[in-house]
Amino acid sequence: MSLSARQRVLAVAGITLAGLLAGAVPAATAQSVAAAPDIPVANVKQHLADLQSIASANGGNGGNRAHGRAGYKASIDFVKAKLDAAGYTTRIEQFTSSGSTGYNLIADWPGGDTNQVLMAGSHLDSVTSGPGINDNGSGSAAILETALAVARTGYQPTKHLRFAWWGAEELGLVGSKYYVNNLPSTERAKISGYLNFDMIGSPNPGYFVYDDDPTIEKNFKDYFAGIGVPTEIETEGDGRSDHASFKNVGIPVGGLFTGASRTKTSAQVQKWGGTATAFDRCYHSSCDTTTNINDTALDRNSDAIAHAIWNLSSGTTTPPTGTVFENTSDVSIPDNGAVVTSSVNVTGITGNAPSDLAVGVDIIHTWRGDLVVDLIAPDGTVYNLKPYSSSDSADNVQTTYTVNASAEVANGSWSLRVQDRATYDTGYINSFKLTFP
Ligand code: DTR
Ligand code: CA
Ligand code: ZN
Ligand code: ZN
């Protein structure tokens, strides 16, 4: 605890006063060192559902999103539209492969030092035999949601951020090779690192980290260590995905992988759970649909991507503009006990809350897996922000959640509700903040 017992008593006593008085304050303008936001896995899964719909509408037999087919171009257009709406500078590169036109989508986040470019990429094409939701809708959707989180949080990194969705990877890394080969050497020299994400939601997942650039590798391994998930070095990855195009010209690379058709060993089952069968039994098959995803793996890898991008771009955060309602009174959380709340009284906001309500949570608590954290709307509607987890041994919940609260009237008393559901580890609510655009 950061407060003396006496101070805490006063602070707790003050919560009613502070909670009632917590009103609008001008959006903070101070720069603060960035901490990666939680990437809502529900949002990533929505992108996968949209890619599934695109495949189902193109190509018959469950459809596909393969190079040269309508489903691929529709996938590119889908991703581009979301990035354009979020304020990215996007461009589409065309190339020809096997007699068909291919497309790369490049999206630059305005700002940052353009002499230091951090890139993250995923191939967006599937094989012709299926919709390619794990291979590689998973990587594509995760970096899309991360890019949208950059925009949502007003992240202003020191380095320049560039995201890419590659065409024709399944034909031999064609799109990423085209990009690198057509990039002037002066531009290549500006790329400080390329992060690759190809199959990160396998249904029987392993947690593999590319063993290429040591700094990038360490970022990923530290993240997984922080959430208590063991990792292994990706051994079969060399040459097997788009990072090879960058590695071949000397650009530092890294990435994550949850496994393809190889079989999980019994030792890996001990480590990660699952079964001693293929990591992804639907690899390159028609059953690579939205049912072919492990949500936990997708969530963990999406958050690991954000962690690495924020850390490797070493930026600052400009808090979102808008009206902020904050309660900074400490609220002690009883060990394995009753729920506690911290509230803010929202006034002066017209109409309903937004579909991307920023909910800032700062809870100091060892073994955060003990905690269930909910947002309670003025009418009592409960929005779960964080479920109980017996395995999340990391400390503290310090992140900004994005909640679709558009069904709620904005004005009224909103509460952050927290309950510690396991004995021993303890902590307190440090602050609770709502930001309305
Ligand atoms: N070649 C990728 C899948 C793949 C197989 N092994 C690895 C290792 C690392 C990254 C990706 C892969 C594909 O089929 O798209
Ligand atoms: Ca997450
Ligand atoms: Zn593939
Ligand atoms: Zn792939």
Ramachandran category for residue 43: left, alpha or beta (phi over 0 → left; psi -120 to 50 → alpha) = alpha
* Residue 93: active-site member: no
- Phi, psi dihedrals of residue 148, rounded to the nearest 5°: -70, -30
Burial profile 319-353: b = 16 or more Cβ within 10 angstroms, e = fewer: bbebbbbbbebbbbbeeeeeebbbbbbbeebeeeb
Ligand that comes closest to the CA of residue 237: 1
Mutate to test the pocket of ligand 1, among 123, 198, 243 (most ligand atoms within 8 A of CB): 198
Answer yes or no: same fold for 28-314 and 323-436: no
16/280 Cα distance (integer angstroms): 52
Three-state secondary-structure class, residue 185: helix
Residue nearest atom 8 of ligand 1, based on CA coordinates = 237
340, 16 contact by CB (below 8 A): no
Q: List, in sequence order, every residue forming a beta bridge with 210; answer none if it has no partner.
A: 234
**Residue range 323-436 in CATH 2.60.120.260:** yes
Helices (H), 189-237: 214-226
Q: For residues 201 and 138, is the Cβ–Cβ distance under 8 A? A: yes
Best residue for ligand 1 mutational test, from 174, 217, 257 (most atoms within 8 Å of Cβ):
257
Q: Which of 145, 169, 170, 326 is catalytic?
A: 169
User: Where are the chain's structural domains?
Assistant: 28-314, 323-436
Question: Which atom number of ligand 1 is nearest to the Cα of residue 240?
Answer: 1
Report pTM: 0.70
**pLDDT truncated to tens, each residue of the chain (437 aa)?**
333 433 333 333 333 334 333 444 434 333 444 689 999 999 999 999 999 999 999 988 889 999 999 999 999 999 999 999 999 999 999 999 999 999 999 999 999 999 999 999 999 999 999 999 999 999 999 999 999 999 999 999 999 999 999 999 999 999 999 999 999 999 999 999 999 999 999 999 999 999 999 999 999 999 999 999 999 999 766 789 999 999 999 999 999 999 999 999 999 999 999 999 999 999 999 999 999 999 999 999 999 999 999 999 986 655 546 788 999 899 999 999 999 999 999 998 989 999 889 999 999 999 999 999 999 999 999 999 999 998 898 888 988 888 999 999 999 999 999 999 999 999 999 999 999 88
28-314 belongs to CATH 3.40.50.300: no
Whose alpha carbon is nearest atom 1 of ligand 1? Answer: 240
Task: Please give the Cα distance from 204 to 221 (Å, whole number).
Answer: 20
Give the distance, in angstroms, between the CA of residue 64 and the centroid of all CA atoms in the same chain. Answer: 25
Q: Regarding beta strands 89-97 and 371-376, do their DSSP bridges make them parallel or antiparallel, or are they unpaired?
A: unpaired
Question: How far does the centroid of ligand 2 lie from the alpha carbon of residue 350, in Å?
Answer: 30
3-state secondary structure of 255: strand
